[in-house]
Amino acid sequence: MGNEEGNEVIIREAKEEDLPKIIRINLETLPEHYPDYFWRDHLRLWGKAFLVAEVDRKIVGYIMTRVDRGLGYVYWKPFKKLGHVVSIAVLPEFRRRGIGRKLMLEAMRRLKEIYGASEVYLEVRVSNKAAISLYEKLGFRKVKHLRKYYLDGEDAWLMAREL
Ligand code: ACO
Ligand code: ZN
C-alpha cells in the first residue's frame, strides 16, 4: 500500500554494481574503510555471503564476509573453516528495525550451508555497545581481548559462536 512504516526488507546477494552504494554506507557509518579491490575480491570469492538489505529498492545496509581457515575460537580443531564477518552496517535512519539481525542470520546460514563454516567470528570495538549487543543476542561470546587492534588505538573484542 506504499505505507511509510514497516516497509518490507529484502535481503539479497550483493552485485558488482551495488558496490559504490555499499562503500558509501561504509564511509558514512564506520571508521574502518577498505580499498575498492578489497570489496570486489570479497564479492568474487565469497559473494554468496555478501548481502545487502533493501527497503523500497534502496540499499540501506550490507554485510561482507569471508571464510578463513584456523583452529577455531569456540572449540579447537585443526583446519576448521571459519566464517569471518568483516563488515556490517545499516544506515542510521533504518536502525532498530531488525535489519542488522536479518543480515547476520542470513549470512551465518550461508557461511554454514554454502561454504561449510563451522564457526563464525568477528572483531568489534569495545565501545560499540549496539553491535556487541546485537552479536550477544545472536549467541556470540567475547572470546579474546585484542589490545590496540584499531589504528586509533582502541581495543577490540573478538567474538565468536558455533554454526
Ligand atoms: N543499543 C543497544 N542495543 C542495540 C542497539 C543499540 N543502539 N542497536 C542494536 N541493538 C541490539 C538490540 O538488542 C537489538 O534488538 P532490539 O531492537 O529488539 O532491542 C538487536 O541488537 C538487533 O538490532 P537490529 O535492529 O537488528 O540492528 P540494526 O539494524 O540497528 O543494526 C548495527 C545494528 C549494524 C550494529 C548498526 O547499529 C550499525 O550499522 N552501526 C554502525 C556500524 C557498526 O558499528 N557496525 C558493526 C561494526 S563491527 C563489524 O562490522 C564486524
Ligand atoms: Zn575481521
For the domain that residue 62 is a member of, what is the CATH number?
3.40.630.30
Q: Is residue 3 part of a domain?
A: no
| Predicted pLDDT at 7 | 83
Q: Measured from the CB, is residue 131 less than 6 Å from ligand 1?
A: yes
Q: Give the range of the structural domain holding residue 88, as residue numbers without chain letter.
A: 9-162
Q: Is residue 20 part of a domain?
A: yes
Q: Is residue 1 part of a domain?
A: no
Q: Is residue 4 part of a domain?
A: no
| Predicted pLDDT at 30 | 95
For residue 61, the ligand 1 atom closest to its alpha carbon is: 39
**For the chain, what is the domain count?**
1
User: Kind of pairing, strands 119-125 and 80-90?
Assistant: parallel
Q: Measured in angstroms, how far is the CA atom of residue 17 from the centroid of ligand 2? A: 24
Q: Is residue 35 part of a domain?
A: yes
User: What is the reported pTM?
Assistant: 0.96
Q: What count of other Cβ atoms lies within 10 Å of the Cβ of residue 32?
A: 12
| Predicted pLDDT at 6 | 62
Q: Is residue 133 part of a domain?
A: yes
Q: Measured from the CB, is residue 158 less than 6 Å from ligand 1?
A: no
| Predicted pLDDT at 4 | 54
DSSP percent split of the chain into helix, strand, coil, nearest 5? 35, 35, 35
Nearest residue by C-alpha to atom 5 in ligand 1: 130
Q: Measured from the CB, is residue 64 less than 6 Å from ligand 1?
A: no
Mutate to test the pocket of ligand 1, among 90, 128, 129 (most ligand atoms within 8 A of CB): 90
Q: Measured in angstroms, how far is the CA atom of residue 73 from the centroid of ligand 1? A: 23
| Predicted pLDDT at 91 | 98
Asked whether 67 and 117 are in contact (CB, 8 A), the reply is yes
Buried b (16+ CB within 10 A) or exposed e, 79-102: ebbbbbbbbbbbbeebeebebbeb
Q: Measured in angstroms, how far is the CA atom of residue 133 from the centroid of ligand 1? A: 7
* DSSP one-letter string for 4-32: STTPPEEEEE--GGGHHHHHHHHHHH-S-
| Predicted pLDDT at 3 | 47
Q: Measured in angstroms, how far is the CA atom of residue 52 from the centroid of ligand 1? A: 15
Mutate to test the pocket of ligand 1, among 28, 54, 134 (most ligand atoms within 8 A of CB): 134
Q: How many residues does the chain have?
A: 163
pLDDT, one tens digit for every residue, the chain (163 residues): 444 556 899 999 999 999 999 999 999 999 999 999 999 999 999 999 999 999 999 999 999 999 999 999 998 888 899 999 999 999 999 999 999 999 999 999 999 999 999 999 999 999 999 999 999 999 999 999 999 999 999 999 999 999 9
